[in-house]
């Protein structure tokens, strides 16, 4: 039985992900660049071009990027969805100056300057405008993934990059409309058509944000009430892809829709659990996306026009990085931050391929010219991880030399919490512990898998989230590696022991206080790694005996000593 086309491509991708990319990682080449290079080597422009002469290469190369592109796009959607989860509407509004100010200037000035340069060389103004517009976009997926790998997303550079990239996503509709105008299919004035496109984009975003608030959270609350991870994942996929389809229907970027869906859930108690559950899908599908970018690079064309492509690539990176640097400096970003951001955004983006395909269908672009520019765009995208690393090194070196700029600090979030208490379970016992911590102004984060209980706690402004504390990935997202102590209140023995083991994985020296069913269970938990285990039934009995002895008039010291002896004897008694 022969593998189908998609299964064959999937097998090659898994081999690349499991063998080729780890080899790149071992020589300190980032995962993103590893996937990009794998796509170049195994794609139709690399070894795939030789498959007709050597039939065995059909088994180890991709036939075309189009066949895997739909799956690859899902990786971008999930990336933007999780980016949205990390933010909130309030934090996005705080970035409005960067989005609408710096982002708009970057798109307009980069398009004008690149289009003018191309028109001066080639002489065809309409085609030059389309090429310049396409190259003005940067790769959202690659740039954000580089920031995440470098743990820089929450920094000033991360916020500046995200602000400009969001405006680029909003400019997709005006970009498509501009191509239609240049093709001569619209009788409207240019300014009116572009303004109409921007109006459509803003209206679509507003509708999604308003509708999502009344649809998304009730759906997730219903899914969470089932306590089924599979249903939670299904609902998360529905929300991300559904919002992407909605923005695509409005002519916007699908990535923007997924980002908005994540943004709506960014202030909800479900965000940490969702992020952990979709992480494996996001990572694999993003890798597939990076490989499809590598597949677009035409090696024979590069060999035939090496110096022309090299010159065009250098011009693109210099012009674009220079403009972004100047704009960010004008908007108050420190020099080394502006330089790091400019280098990260200097390459082209995936929307260039969409725009050029549309323009070719409209008869605006010739095939040879388009092939040349798309190769330059793909090469610039491939260089994005390298440029991001160079920008960071330069920034760090300037910072170490002490040129008067303060160290860049990440934005405070749950991941950055330290010396707090993590409470697992927010039922009767967990809430009592939380009240005790609140009276002493001790910071805490609580997790629970009861959606109704979480909603009630959050309505009271308590720091409670939906999530499974027995999963190390969840603990990492709430700063578990820096927590002062952990309190486990679940009364299910197997669940409590699993949670103790998970905590020990990320914090071997943690103080862990656990609720136990009885003395035998308490001993098991201490053997598993708990610092203290309190048997609920025993403590209830001890408290009752305390009240009885006090009521009978026994002296306080005698009562304390007697009950202490009873507690020690019960804890030392072997299990039946």
pLDDT value, residue 190 = 58
Of 375, 400, 425, the residue that ends a domain is: 400
- Domain membership flag for residue 412: no
243 in the same domain as 119: yes
With respect to residue 456, please indicate whether it lies within any of the assigned structural domains: yes
Q: Count Cβ atoms within 10 A of the Cβ of residue 59 and give its class: 0-12 exposed, 13-18 middle, 19 or more buried.
A: exposed
Say if residue 432 is in the same domain as residue 505. yes
Shared-domain flag, residues 381 and 473: no
Is there a domain that residue 429 lies in? Answer: yes
Residues 117 and 60 in one domain: no
Q: At what angle do helices 172-182 and 190-225 cross, to 10 degrees?
A: 150
Q: 11, 31, 65: which is the final residue of a domain?
A: 65
Asked if residue 260 lies in contact with residue 455, where contact means CB atoms within 8 angstroms, the answer is: no
Closest CA to 145 of 79, 240, 220: 79
Pair (124, 271) in one structural domain: yes
Cβ(355)–Cβ(176) below 8 Å: yes
- From the CB of residue 1, how many other CB atoms can be counted at a distance below 10 Å? 3
Q: Is residue 410 part of a domain?
A: no
In a domain, 296, yes or no: yes
Same-domain status, 3 and 102: no
One domain, residues 468 and 484: yes
Instruction: Say how many domains are in the chain.
Output: 3
Residue 411 lies in a domain: no
Helix, strand, coil abundance in the chain, percent, nearest 5: 70, 5, 25
Q: Does some domain include residue 496?
A: yes
Instruction: Give the mean pLDDT per block of 10 residues along the chain (576 residues).
Output: 58 70 64 76 74 71 66 73 71 78 91 90 83 89 81 78 84 74 63 68 73 74 75 79 80 75 76 75 73 79 88 93 92 87 89 79 80 88 88 80 50 65 84 79 84 82 83 80 84 78 82 80 79 70 64 70 68 52
Q: Looking at the structure, tell me whether residues 219 and 328 fall in a common domain.
A: yes
Largest CA distance in the chain: 104
73 and 49 assigned to the same domain:
no
Dihedral sign for Cα atoms in the order 359, 364, 366, 369: negative
355 vs 90, 204, 408, CA distance in Å?
Answer: 32, 20, 37
Question: Domain holding 158: CATH number?
Answer: 1.20.1530.20
Q: Do 37 and 73 reside in the same domain of the chain?
A: no
Comparing CA positions, the residue from 411, 339, 385, 415 lying closest to residue 156 is 411
What is the C-alpha separation between 172 and 90, in angstroms, rounded? 24
Q: Which residues fall within 8 angstroms of residue 337, CB to CB, at 6 or more apart?
A: 156, 157, 160, 328, 395, 408
Q: Tell me the residue range of the domain where 466 lies.
A: 417-572
Contacts of 475 (CB under 8 A, 6+ apart): 422, 469, 481, 502, 503, 506
In a domain, 405, yes or no: no
Element housing 443 (H / E): none
- Burial bucket for residue 216 (CB in 10 Å: 0-12, 13-18, 19+): buried
Examine the domain organization and report whether 551 and 455 are in the same domain: yes
* pTM exceeding 0.75: no
Q: Note the pLDDT of residue 317.
A: 93
Q: How much is the pLDDT for 299? A: 81
Same domain for 33 and 131, yes or no, is no
Q: What is the CATH number of the domain that holds 498?
A: 3.40.50.720
pLDDT on residue 410: 47
Q: Which of 21, 50, 65 is the last residue of a domain?
A: 65
Q: Are 74 and 83 in contact (CB under 8 A)?
A: no
């Amino acid at each position: 039985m022969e593998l189908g086309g998609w299964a064959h491509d999937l097998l090659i991708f898994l081999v690349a992900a499991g063998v080729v990319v780890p080899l790149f990682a071992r020589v300190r080449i980032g995962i993103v660049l590893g996937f990009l290079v794998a796509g170049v080597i195994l794609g139709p422009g690399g070894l795939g071009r030789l498959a007709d002469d050597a039939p065995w290469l059909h088994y180890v190369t991709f036939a075309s990027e189009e066949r895997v592109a739909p799956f690859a796009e899902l990786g971008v959607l999930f990336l933007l969805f999780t980016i949205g989860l990390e933010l909130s509407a309030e934090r996005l509004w705080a970035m409005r100056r960067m989005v609408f100010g710096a982002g708009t200037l970057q798109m307009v000035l980069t398009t004008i300057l690149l289009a003018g340069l191309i028109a001066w060389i080639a002489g065809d103004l309409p085609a030059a405008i389309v090429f310049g517009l396409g190259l003005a976009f940067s790769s959202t997926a690659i740039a954000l993934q580089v920031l995440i790998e470098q743990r820089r997303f929450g920094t000033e550079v991360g916020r500046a990059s995200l602000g400009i990239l969001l405006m680029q996503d909003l400019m997709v509709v005006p970009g498509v409309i501009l191509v239609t105008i240049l093709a001569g299919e619209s009788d409207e004035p240019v300014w009116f058509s572009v303004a109409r496109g921007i109006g459509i984009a803003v209206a679509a975003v507003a509708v999604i944000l308003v509708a999502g608030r009344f649809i998304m959270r009730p759906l997730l609350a219903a899914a969470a009430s089932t306590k089924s991870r599979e249903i939670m994942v299904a609902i998360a996929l529905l929300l991300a892809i559904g919002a992407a389809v909605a923005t695509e229907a409005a002519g916007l970027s699908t990535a923007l829709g997924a980002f908005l869906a994540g943004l709506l859930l960014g202030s909800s108690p479900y965000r940490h659990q969702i992020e952990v559950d979709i992480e494996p899908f996001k990572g694999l599908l993003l890798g597939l996306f990076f490989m499809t970018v590598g597949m677009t690079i035409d090696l024979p064309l590069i060999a035939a026009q090496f110096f022309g492509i090299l010159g065009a690539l250098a011009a693109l990176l210099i012009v674009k990085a220079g403009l972004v640097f100047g704009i960010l400096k004008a908007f108050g970003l420190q020099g080394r931050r502006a330089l790091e951001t400019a280098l990260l955004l200097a390459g082209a983006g995936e929307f260039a391929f969409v725009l050029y395909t549309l323009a070719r269908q409209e008869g605006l672009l010739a095939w040879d010219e388009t092939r040349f520019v798309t190769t330059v765009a793909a090469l610039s995208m491939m260089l994005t991880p390298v440029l991001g690393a160079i920008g960071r090194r330069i920034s760090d070196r300037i910072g170490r030399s002490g040129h008067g700029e303060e160290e860049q600090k990440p934005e405070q979030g749950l991941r950055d919490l330290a010396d707090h208490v993590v409470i697992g379970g927010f039922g009767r016992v967990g809430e009592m512990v939380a009240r005790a911590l609140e009276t002493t102004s001790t910071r805490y984060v609580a997790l629970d898998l009861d959606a109704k209980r979480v909603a009630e706690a959050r309505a009271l402004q308590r720091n409670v989230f939906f999530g499974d504390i027995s999963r190390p990935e969840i603990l990492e997202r709430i700063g578990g590696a820096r927590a002062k102590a952990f309190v486990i209140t679940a009364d299910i023995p197997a669940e409590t022991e699993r949670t103790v083991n998970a905590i020990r994985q990320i914090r071997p020296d943690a103080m862990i206080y656990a609720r136990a069913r009885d003395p035998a269970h308490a001993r098991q938990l201490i053997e598993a790694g708990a610092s203290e285990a309190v048997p609920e039934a025993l403590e209830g009995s001890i408290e009752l005996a305390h009240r009885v002895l006090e009521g009978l008039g026994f002296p306080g010291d005698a009562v304390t000593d007697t009950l202490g002896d009873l507690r020690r004897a019960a804890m030392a008694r072997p299990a039946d």
